[in-house]
A and B are shown apart, each in its own frame.
Chain A
């Protein structure tokens, strides 16, 4: 078992598709929360393979995309402070703020570095005692534990030149916000597999309990996604909403308690701003007072006007599932992966990028 090829076998894909075709009667609209799922769905051509009764819709699960323009502007302003080295994940560099990108700031002399892990950012801080290393922390529950671990390590080592701009967000409140808004009618949710590896499948129970819709937690190979779709179709046909774990090799009911304890020690939860969703209660992770010394917003205060969305960009609507990327007037002609205007075209998890890369453009 190597955990990849086994979940891509064409015969098994065929079989699952046949099962779904045979069972599906009621037309269903399923939202894949996670941008990783959107890309897998396009990459493996699953939209075309599924019967007409099953439609898939991209959701807000792209951390880069949901970062608000104001937060981006703050990060860009911080990167321009003398002596600051801003480290972040690659996707963030080309995301447009109100006026420019981190990449442009870098071209103009800001020290912006791409890292693969928070551990790399710690390494930069250790090796450059004369620099103030700010890690721009974006990501959902999957990523937040690694940032918490980095802060605890920095504290233990007495590393004084390391801090975090935490833009970390929690996914269940965003799902609630979309359902509460009532703009899109959804029959089921494809639960994010790696977020749920951390928070546990039980964290999605509210979907069945409070909203009467099913959730199937899915992995990222074609068979994983189809197993989840099949479970959703089955529950919808039976009219018995529940949470199904279709990614059992990684996801447990209670998630990963070790990772959760790191997050609980370092962060507290409060409202935060999402692109497309506005302010969502109890959806942001912020450093606890005990870690104020590592909080970049306190150490490098910058004055920021409320950010502006790129004119004409429908990313906000795409993130809420209100429109498909191809409905955006900028799509393809004016906004493309080479010249992105909105974040959904920049990020490797963005829905617009998936449409451009794998067809339907």
Chain B
């Protein structure tokens, strides 16, 4: 029930937005994420954006895997 999925905002109209989930547009409420802008990724739960996903923090989590001194194969980790 606490399921939430990352979606990208493509259009904002007042407190509502259209967000893209797997190629499908869904109307969502930005009542809890008023700072969201077009192009941002938000987590959607039951039709509401519950957080604005922070790319720097996401990168930081992934880079922890590098920092801890585990061997990284060349060419890896530069993904989208």
Contact = CB atoms under 8 A, between A and B. Distances in A.
Interface of A: 1-7, 9, 11-12, 15-16, 18-19, 34-36, 61-64, 89, 91, 116-120, 138-140, 142-143, 145-146, 149, 192-195, 197-198, 223-224, 227, 246-252, 256, 258-259, 262, 347, 349
Contacts of B1: 35, 62-64, 89, 91, 138-140, 142-143, 347, 349
Contact of A197 (B43, B65, B80): B43
Contacts, number: 134
Max count, chain A CB within 10 A of own CB: residue among B1, B32, B47? B1
Nearest to B33: A258
Contacts of A149: 29, 31-32, 48
A194 B43 contact: yes
B66 to A, nearest CB: 9
Interface string B22-50: 00000001011110000001010111101
A354 to B, nearest CB: 14
Nearest to B64: A227
A54 B29 CA distance: 40
Interface residues of B, number: 35
Interface in B11-27: none
A6 B58 CA distance: 9
Contacts of A349: 1-2
B62 A6 contact: yes
Contact of B2 (A120, A143, A252): A143
A77 B29 CA distance: 32
A262 B57 CA distance: 26
Nearest to A119: B47
Contacts of B4: 142, 194, 197
Given A15-B65, A15-B70, A248-B57, 6 more contacts: A2-B41, A6-B58, A6-B79, A63-B2, A117-B48, A197-B4
